Structure 1
């Protein structure tokens, strides 16, 4: 991603204050922060109640704002939920989001608590983005149909998924060939992309997107760690953002439309059709997957879709493909091997703010009310401390 001009608003980084006493936190306790922390931890009100030795009804009253927890309960809540006590202090900006506004890639497997956890995660991504935007000018949102950003294209995309994909390609000047570095293109046009990995990746939530002041897309890379599936998922979520931003999520028809958008966006029919084999040729399709950045499975589906393969021939090809998954050319390729598919916008924004304003990780964490480790995780920063290894 290129930086042009001086994309910086100079602000002092500030100093980290001493954490307030539990009594002070109790007096300005933010009920919504408790709900957010509970969702992030994936815990029920009953589990929280048992941990701090109150009733589930009491926890419900804390979350509704009817009552505030006693001062001695504040550290217990923080320990139970894995947040600093300053997390519960009111006054910080909130993202008014709920799970009903998010488009989830896996409609059937994502349960209610997993969706709540995912949306709580997005709230933190939004808060981090907002904190960085106070210091660094991020790429403006340049997405037709998106009304929340500071830049309006004046372009209305067609409602047809295929036509919308073609129109967006033309608007972003992507041509008609393969799209390298898909995630970098999304970030360049102002879409916030987060790809949690390791402990903070919920394997049951494949991916989802949501529009709120900025469009935000979360891609769980290590659910399959297959770069081709990952790219298709990114294009699928892009389809939701441009086609379904003003409609309620959860419709299976929307999922089919997002798939159709992704297929045309990544492999335009008029461009890819002359390259597809007239009969099943898995080796040829394996070569094409590296050219177009989509899986052999997707290319087989494309062959069937454009009439090159019958349903029966496609079914036989998928059975044969299943037996080749461990063979060279057919094994999955890790997303980690493709830097252009890994989000960098927020990390680079922090690094620019650190260089220009003296912003430090502890200062940013304090401003957000998070732990330093949580802030580092969401920025995808490497641990800087050297590792001591002891040899017996």
Structure 2
């Protein structure tokens, strides 16, 4: 009997392969086995020999422990994507697999730190997107601002707002322009997760993308997954999320007063204040009937003529505020000595680079070299030596 890998789980191999965006044939070529062998491993008809297991681990950049880990039942989730095109099917599957890893990491962290409590309004939306009117969307955006006491002014970072309200937000490298963000929550239990592409880190676009996902969470949480996946309903759902983002970021009560005579130059001047793209302001002006169809068309023609489709003014100047909750959670458990870096990698059977990317950590953050290179206070004796030598001065506190 050929030696295999005790405890190996074929379902984990499927998960890893899809997370890396590989077909069975591509993985077989990388590992140096037949496609049939990969199929046998994935069906649990056979387990890899130790040397093959090692190659699988190396090529997929995942520890062997990952492939021995028991699969946990996953609740049905409602996931919202910008596109359901066939071209994005593989990319979506890859993103879903990595998203499962993010959930595992967040669940592990929650055993040691307290994340912000969930604080989202429940507007009891219908389970049919056709029943969600434009008036309802505008009203939901207004009510959301009132619920969170946001007033009617600009919002500096919707990403930070989502995190403060208990959502887990992650920057992800989807590897495709066809997928820029998605959000999900477990069916029957509101647990919001939002993933935004690292390509959408321009502040104005990030704000709109995050507000779009917020629209899904507030407007579409009751829509069954099978309905959300139908092409016609999916298109409508995406339009509604865009409408919500417009209304949430650019409230009628204040934006209307500032844009009595819409123009590209005016929108350009307003962009640093509202932290919303010029394109979004054009669309909002149309929805508020500040411009007619012909004016709307002319604005887009002029927008294109200025070359702004490839980059708007201030895109490189407005500071982007990325997710921070997961990063701070890791910093906390390490700084407080709750766990070591080695214990993190032992508890979370993923590649260190995957954890770092999913959680917004610096590259190499989970390496021991990173830890030893961090700025730290010298021992007290060294401080005293520096003080006496004049190299540095210690200022004592006056005690009364």
Query: Could you tell me the TM-score, scaled by structure 1's length?
Result: 0.80
Query: Cα–Cα, structure 1 residues 241 and 62, in superposed 2: closer, same or farther, change >3 Å?
Result: farther
Is the 2:125–2:220 Cα contact (8 Å) retained in structure 1? no
Matched, 1:170 2:138: no
Residue deviations 1:32-84 (CA, integer Å, cap 9, x gap): 22122111110001112233344434423432434433333211211221212
Cα deviation code 1:277-325 (max 9, x no counterpart) = 33x4211111222222211111111222222212111111111122334
Question: Equivalent residue of 1:195, what SS?
Answer: strand
Question: Which of residues 219, 226, 243 is equivalent to 1:243?
Answer: 219
- Whether the 8 Å CA contact 2:138–2:244 is kept in 1: the answer is yes
User: Equivalent residue for 2:340?
Assistant: 360
Match of 2:349 in 1: 369
List gaps (5 residues or longer) in structure 1: 1-22, 146-154
Paired with 2:7 and 2:75, the residues of 1 have a C-alpha distance of 20
Q: 2:242 aligns to what?
A: 259
In structure 1, C-alpha distance between the alignment counterparts of 2:340 and 2:76, rounded to whole Å:
28
Between Structure 1 and Structure 2, whose CA radius of gyration is higher? 2
Offset at residue 217 of structure 1 (A): 0.6
CA change 1:243–1:207 in 2 (3 A) is: same
Shift of 1:369: 0.7
Deviation at 1:97, TM superposition (A): 6.4
After TM superposition, the score normalised by the length of structure 2 is 0.78
Provide the rounded CA distance (Å) in 2 between the counterparts of 1:191 and 1:66. 40
Q: Is the 8 A contact 1:231 1:293 kept in 2?
A: yes
Instruction: Please point out which of 33, 47, 52 is paired with 2:31.
Output: 52
Residue 206 of structure 1, aligned match among 180, 186, 190: 180
Residue of structure 2 equivalent to 1:10: none
Equivalent pair of 2:170/2:360 in contact (CA under 8 Å): no
Describe the shift of the 1:119–1:70 C-alpha distance in structure 2 as closer, same or farther (beyond 3 A): same
Q: Take 1:230 and 1:110, find their aligned partners in 2: how far apart are those partners?
A: 24
CA distance in 2, matches of 1:268, 1:194: 27
Partner of 1:316: 298
Residue matched to 2:170:
194
What residue number does 2:83 align with? 106
Aligned to 2:319: 338
Q: Could you report, residue by residue, the CA deviation over 1:77-114 in whole angstroms, capped at 9, with x for unpaired residues? A: 1122121212112247565567xx42112344752110
Residue pairs, 1:1-392, within 5 angstroms: 26-91=5-70, 93=72, 95=74, 101-108=78-85, 111-145=88-122, 156=124, 159=132, 160-196=136-172, 201-212=175-186, 214-223=191-200, 225-247=201-223, 248=225, 249-250=228-229, 251-278=234-261, 280-325=262-307, 330-331=312-313, 333-334=315-316, 338-339=319-320, 341-382=321-362, 383=364, 385=369
Q: Show structure 2 runs of 5+ residues with no match.
A: 127-131, 374-400
Aligned residues: 346
CA gap of 1:318–1:193, structure 2 versus 1, over 3 A, is same
Contact 1:106 / 1:206 at 8 angstroms: preserved in 2?
no
SS of the residue 1:316 aligns to: helix
Give, in whole Å, the separation in 1 of the partners of 2:121 and 2:73: 26
Q: RCO greater where, 1 or 2, for CA within 8 Å and sep 6 or more?
A: 1
Structure 1 Cα separation of the partners of residues 137 and 79 of structure 2? 19
